[in-house]
């Protein structure tokens, strides 16, 4: 752990010194008359977001490079300094020299370097004593915090559905210091539904990983999956898929020749049926009625009720239909 912290401090120092050097050449930056006079998109964030974004980049980049360094990933280390130079040079070129297209090219080059960095870390790694370099509170905090983000996505989408259903005129309004579009068209609403659904799909990844745990983490997993009406997955995945992988008794395993569009609904129904039967047998052994709050299959669907009621309240059946596209 000591080696990890010292290495992290070195990379943090390099990155933040680099940002400070870039800031010296940037000038007034987002507060300059040149930048504020540009024809900016309605969703352009306020100036403080730039500082927050670059700070976040510096910290996460330092964490990544620390892991690579401890893994002796020399290829990634060779790409570190070109990426650092691009990060340092973008602000002075874009804000200082006002070479907008050059700044755009540098941004693209940074994305290209990131894409070419094929070396990936399987985790924070372990020291010579077998102790992990990982910061558990950081890792868990990120995963737990995503539940709030996924819930917020649904709330924002429901707000847009409400605007569309109430025919709010298209215009501009201010929210949290940002100028945003007020009102939404039908095509925009479909796009918002699909795009938020794609991002919220990440919740299945987090829910899947946390489903392998117990206690508080498992509860978070259940709530994540409940946002898409699939809280049953957490039990079916661990007690069915892990034990019957590749077998006909595993609804998550697709038989040869079955299409994705056919497998998706059948897999969901099969996993729900597994937990239904598992709870039926478990409650019978305990002498508890099936219609009981101890029924984890039923509780999973009750956990999805807030999402259903939210979209029903703002859009009725249309809201429910959009929520199904979203999830």
Comparing C-alpha atoms, which of 86, 105, 104 is closest to residue 15? Answer: 86
**Average pLDDT value for the chain:** 81
The share of the chain scoring above pLDDT 70, in percent, equals 76
Report the interhelical angle of 202-210 vs 216-226 (nearest 10°).
150
3 state DSSP class of 157: helix
- Tell me: the pLDDT tens digits for 1-32? 677 788 888 888 888 887 777 776 666 666 66
93-97 mean pLDDT = 69
Residue 186, pLDDT above cutoff 60: yes
**266 and 251 in contact (C-beta within 8 Å)?**
yes
**Which residues partner with 126 through β-bridges?**
132
96-125 mean pLDDT = 63
Residue 34, pLDDT above cutoff 80: no
The DSSP letter of residue 30 is G
Q: Take residue 83 and report the two structure tokens written for it.
A: 């990426």
Q: Which helix (H) or strand (E) holds 181?
A: strand 178-182
Give the residue carrying structure tokens 């964490």: 63
How many CB atoms within 10 Å of residue 158?
A: 21
Instruction: Find the length of the chain.
Output: 327
285-301 mean pLDDT = 93
* pLDDT in the model for residue 85: 75
Residue 50, pLDDT above cutoff 80: no
Residue ranges in 180-259 assigned as alpha helix (H)? 186-200, 202-210, 216-226, 233-236, 242-244
Neighbouring residues of 144: CB distance < 8 A, sequence distance ≥ 6: 217, 220
> 80 falls in which pLDDT band (50, 70, 90)?
confident
Give the residue carrying structure tokens 């070419």: 116
Question: How far is residue 197's CA from residue 191's CA, in Å, rounded to a whole number?
Answer: 10
Between 167 and 91, name the one with better pLDDT.
167
> 327 falls in which pLDDT band (50, 70, 90)?
low
Residue 43, pLDDT above cutoff 70: no
Report how far apart, in Å, the C-alpha atoms of 161 and of each of 42, 43, 199, 288 are.
20, 19, 18, 42
Residue ranges in 250-289 assigned as alpha helix (H)? 260-286
How many CB atoms within 10 Å of residue 67?
A: 23
Neighbouring residues of 133: CB distance < 8 A, sequence distance ≥ 6: 1, 4, 67, 70, 124, 125, 126, 127
How many Cα atoms are found within 13 Å in the side-chain-facing hemisphere of 258?
15
- Tell me: the pLDDT tens digits for 127-155? 677 776 666 777 788 888 889 988 998 99
* pLDDT in the model for residue 53: 80
- Tell me: the pLDDT tens digits for 229-255? 889 999 999 999 998 888 888 888 998
21-50 mean pLDDT = 68
> 270 falls in which pLDDT band (50, 70, 90)?
very high
Q: Tell the burial category of 276 from Cβ atoms under 10 Å away from its Cβ (0-12, 13-18, 19+).
A: middle
Residue 39, pLDDT above cutoff 70: no
């Amino acid at each position: 752990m000591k080696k990890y912290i010292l290495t992290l401090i070195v990379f943090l120092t390099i990155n933040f010194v680099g940002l400070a050097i870039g800031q010296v050449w940037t000038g007034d930056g987002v507060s300059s008359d040149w930048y504020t006079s540009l024809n900016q998109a309605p969703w352009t964030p306020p100036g403080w977001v730039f500082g927050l974004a670059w700070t976040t980049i510096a910290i996460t980049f330092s964490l990544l490079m620390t892991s690579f360094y401890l893994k002796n990933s020399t290829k990634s280390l060779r790409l570190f300094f070109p990426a650092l130079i691009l990060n340092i040079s973008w602000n002075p070129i874009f804000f200082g020299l006002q070479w907008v297209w050059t700044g755009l090219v540098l941004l693209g080059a940074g994305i290209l370097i990131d894409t070419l960095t094929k070396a990936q870390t399987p985790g924070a790694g372990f020291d010579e004593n077998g102790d992990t370099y990982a910061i558990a509170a950081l890792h868990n905090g990120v995963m737990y915090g995503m539940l709030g983000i996924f819930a917020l996505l649904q709330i924002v989408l429901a707000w847009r559905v409400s605007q569309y259903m109430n025919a709010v005129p298209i215009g501009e309004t201010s929210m949290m210091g940002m100028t945003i579009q007020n009102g939404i068209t039908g095509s925009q609403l479909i796009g918002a539904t699909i795009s938020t659904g794609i991002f919220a799909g990440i919740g299945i990844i987090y829910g899947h990983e946390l489903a392998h745990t117990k206690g508080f983490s498992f509860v978070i997993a259940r709530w994540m999956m409940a946002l898409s009406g699939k809280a049953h997955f957490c039990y079916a995945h661990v007690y069915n898929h892990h034990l019957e992988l590749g077998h006909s008794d595993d609804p998550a395993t697709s038989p040869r020749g079955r299409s994705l569009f056919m497998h998706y609904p059948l897999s969901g129904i099969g996993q729900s049926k597994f937990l239904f039967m598992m709870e039926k047998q478990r409650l019978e052994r305990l002498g508890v009625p099936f219609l009981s709050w101890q029924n984890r299959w039923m509780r999973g669907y009750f956990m999805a009720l807030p999402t259903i009621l939210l979209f029903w309240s703002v859009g009725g059946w249309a809201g429910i239909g959009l929520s199904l596209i979203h999830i």
